[in-house]
Amino acid sequence: MATTSDIRNGMCLEMNGDIWSVVEFQHVKPGKGAAFVRTKLKSLTKGKVVDNTFPAGHTINEVRVERRQFQYLYHDDMGYHFMNTEDFEQVTLPEELLDHPEFLKEGMMVDVLFHAANNTPLNAEMPSSVEVEVTYTEPGLKGDTATNTLKPATVDTGAEVKVPLFINQGDKIKVDTRTGEYLGRV
């Protein structure tokens, strides 16, 4: 058992029959009244994000999770299939447990979170950025970098990304997997 003073980003806790990860938190001590902890929690089983407030000193059930490296294999009607490269164990995760599956490429390494007590997969975390190739976009104009105008581009994973006007078909770009934003050329 932990208390609200132990809350930190990335901590996993059990609440209302679900497992939640702390996305962000803030200890608040108002001038009048008792202190409390304002948190933003993400469900590891359903993927939804909620705001929750705990009174100071409240006990919480901390859950131990393990992070293991898995390689993405393929996607079918059952879900997304991953393999542990050390013991070749395979797990299948439904789409709602992945943050941004549109950026997954075959062979990509991801972190899969497991509930340590019953060894069930909870969530898959993508790397913070990926390198992809632009498969389709309107032709760009040489030297058109003065304005910060963006155009849509389709990448080899099938996702659509907004890129600057000078990016052409066949260019390799770096994309932030959390927001889907263009980061730069590779």
Give tens-digit pLDDT for 37-81. Answer: 999 998 887 778 899 999 988 999 999 988 899 999 999 998 999
CATH number of 129-185: 2.40.50.140
The dihedrals phi and psi of 154, each to the nearest 5 degrees, come to -100, 135
C-alpha distance from residue 123 to each of 20, 49, 86, 108, 132 (Å): 11, 14, 19, 16, 23
Give the percent of the chain with pLDDT over 70: 96
For residue 18, pLDDT over 70 is answered with: yes
Q: How far apart are CA 157 and CA 103, in angstroms?
A: 6
Give residue 174's pLDDT.
Answer: 93
Contact call for residues 181 and 129 (beta carbons, < 8 A): no
The listed CATH number (1.10.10.10, 2.40.50.100, 3.40.47.10, 2.30.30.30) that belongs to domain 2-62: 2.30.30.30
Please state, in angstroms and rounded to a whole number, the distance separating the CA atoms of residues 132 and 175.
Answer: 7
Q: Specify the pairing of strand 160-164 against strand 150-155.
A: antiparallel
**What is the pTM (predicted TM-score) of this model?**
0.74
User: Residue 24's pLDDT band (boundaries 50, 70, 90)?
Assistant: very high
pLDDT at 52: 93
Domain boundaries, the chain: 2-62, 65-125, 129-185
| Equal CATH topology for 2-62 and 65-125 | no
pLDDT surpassing 90 at residue 26 = yes
Looking at 3.90.740.10, 3.40.50.20, 3.40.50.300, 2.40.50.140, the CATH number of the domain 65-125 comes to 2.40.50.140
141 pLDDT above the threshold of 90:
no
